[in-house]
Every structure is written in structure tokens, then in C-alpha cells.
A = this chain, B = another copy of it.
Amino acid sequence: MNSELLGELTIFILAIVIGFELISRVPTLLHTPLMSATNAIHGIVLVGAIIAVGAEGGNAFIRIVGLIAVVFGTINIVGGFWVTNRMLDMFRAGNRPRRKQG
């Protein structure tokens, strides 16, 4: 393992620690939006898809598979954030007074 890889491994572990720390007590009300938002975030794989399909020296296989991945990743991102936003919009409806229930 070279040192760049070791750095990446470190980053990986630290990000996992952050992920664990980040979520502790979340009101049930927000479970679905939270799931939906993190779901949108892993659409970041789109970045990987763009790099994979766009790099030099690809052939037809890479192009087809890669473009499918780009479409998939974009659906994940756009749909994910959009639907999360719609969910959260619904909570705004009505006369919710500040912090109560949840």
C-alpha cells in the first residue's frame, strides 16, 4: 500500500466515525426524510461515473455502461433531493408551532 492509499483509508475511517457520531437521537418524524437525504447524497457516485466514462482510452463497452451509470447517478441525485424536499415541505404545512412533537 502506498502512502496515498493509506491517506485514503484514514479518510474513509474518519468519515465513518463522523457518520456514526452524526446520527444519534433523531425524532421518528425525520427518519424518512433523513433516509431520503442520505440516499440522495450517495448519488455522489455520479462523480465517479463521469470520471469513469470521460477518461481517455475508453471503448464502446465503457461508454455504454458508463453512460448508464451517469443516468442512474443523476436520477439518484435529482430524485433524491427533490423527494426529500417534498417530504419536508409537507411538515411545513399547517400551523406547526416551534418544537413540539417529533
The verdict on A7 contacting chain B, using a C-beta distance below 8 Å, is yes
- Counting contact residues on chain A (CB < 8 A from B), the size range is 10 to 19
Q: How many chain copies does the complex carry?
A: 2
Instruction: Convert A1-13 into 0s and 1s, putting 1 for each residue whose CB lies closer than 8 angstroms to a CB of B.
Output: 0011001101100
The verdict on A64 contacting chain B, using a C-beta distance below 8 Å, is no
The verdict on A21 contacting chain B, using a C-beta distance below 8 Å, is yes
The verdict on A14 contacting chain B, using a C-beta distance below 8 Å, is yes
Query: Nearest-CB distance from A82 to chain B (Å)?
Result: 27
Partner of A10, one of B11, B17, B18, B22: B11
Chain A residues within 8 Å of B, Cβ to Cβ: 3-4, 7-8, 10-11, 14-15, 17-18, 21-22
